[in-house]
Amino acid sequence: MPNLFIRHRSSPFMFEPEEESAVLGIVCGFLGISEDEMIKIGEVIKKSVFDPGVESEEEAVGRLRDALKDMSKEEALLAGVFISGLLRCNLARQYMQAMAEAEGSEGSE
């Protein structure tokens, strides 16, 4: 497991993927949530937001609100940590794609 408290390199992202998993594990320990429960919460959140049947951002927000209503405060907090990680991963991917596209368009000018 990586040492979460010593950073050997600078990165534009708060955690690396393996560190994100370690943080989720730590939060689960604090909240008394098992790994199986964590996985179920993650699946509910991913399905609420990224299900192919979701047709709009508003629908995704509504589904997410409905999912959170059925969760305890501890589970909702873990869902927030999970969403934060998903956003970081997605934003990192979008950033890298935009940079590649920008470099590609510079080369074609």
First to last CA, the chain: 45
Gap between the Cα atoms of 87 and 81, Å rounded: 10
Q: What pLDDT, in 10s, does the model give residues 50-105? A: 888 888 889 988 999 999 999 999 999 888 888 887 777 766 666 677 777 877 77
pLDDT digit string, tens, across residues 14-51:
566 677 778 778 888 888 999 899 889 988 988 888 88
The structural domains of the chain, with segments of one domain joined by +, span 17-107
Torsion sign across C-alpha atoms 59, 61, 66, 71:
positive
Q: How many residues does the chain have?
A: 109
| Burial degree of 79 (CB within 10 A; 0-12, 13-18, 19+) | buried
Helical segments of the chain, H only: 17-31, 35-50, 57-69, 73-107
pTM of the predicted structure, to 2 decimals: 0.62
